[in-house]
Amino acid sequence: MQWEEAQQAHVLLYPEGMVTLNGPAAEILTRCREAKSVTQVVEELQQAFPQDDIAADVREFLEDAYANGWICIERAD
């Protein structure tokens, strides 16, 4: 993920192309840079944005990102 000045947005480059991220998507992926569980990412975002119930949205975005090959998910044993 990187900031693209020309688009004034974060973008994600992956083998098949590029996707422009909105603010919430960039927030989610920023927190995924470190090895964390989905629950940890949701908890951090919920603390940062307590006025919103975002758990379902975060999980849905991560599922879509995985399905599109934007992220890899490691399963804990």
For residue 7, tell me if it sits in a domain: no
Kindly report the average pLDDT of the chain as a whole number: 88
SS (H, E, C) 11-53: EEEECCEEEEECHHHHHHHHHCCCCCCHHHHHHHHHHHCCCCC
Angle in degrees, 0-180, between the axes of helices 38-48 and 55-67, rounded to the nearest 10: 130
* Residue 58 DSSP one-character state: H
Domain count, the chain: 1
Domain containing 71: what range? 21-77
pLDDT value, residue 63: 93
Per-residue pLDDT tens digits for 15-51: 888 999 998 899 999 988 877 888 999 999 998 888 7
For residue 74, tell me if it sits in a domain: yes
pTM for the model stands at 0.80
For residue 26, tell me if it sits in a domain: yes
